[in-house]
Amino acid sequence: MKEFHDCLKHKVAYVAIGEFKSGRFSEAQRLYEKAVSTYKDGFKGAYLLQKTGTDEGIAVIIWDQIDNMETNQSEEYQGIMKEMNSLFATPPTTSYYEVCSEIQSEKPA
């Protein structure tokens, strides 16, 4: 019966929505990519979206389960985040979402 319940598990998306200080988005992007590169167990993918012509963005990080995010917060990661936090115009809003659908395009033959 355990196998059936394992199939019902959903991935979790950590979503942060925020705005960086004027002209600082590219620096924040560099730090985001550096922070994400530290992730190991349970990490499934990440996206950073920028609203065109602004310093507003949305970060989406996909995990097997929420506990994996917490266990991947190494000392290196914490240092990167401390540096990134100084770039925000205001603190970002953050939430966790259950990934209910995942649709990928078919690759050409």
**What digits encode the pLDDT tens for the residues 53-89?**
999 999 999 999 989 988 999 999 999 999 999 999 9
**E-assigned strand segments in 21-99:** 43-50, 56-63, 88-98
Provide the CB-side half-sphere exposure for 79 (13 A, CA). Answer: 5
Q: What is the pLDDT of residues 88-106, one digit of tens each?
A: 999 999 999 999 998 888 8
CATH of region 9-98: 3.30.70.100
Structure-block tokens of residue 107: 């690759």
- pTM here is 0.84
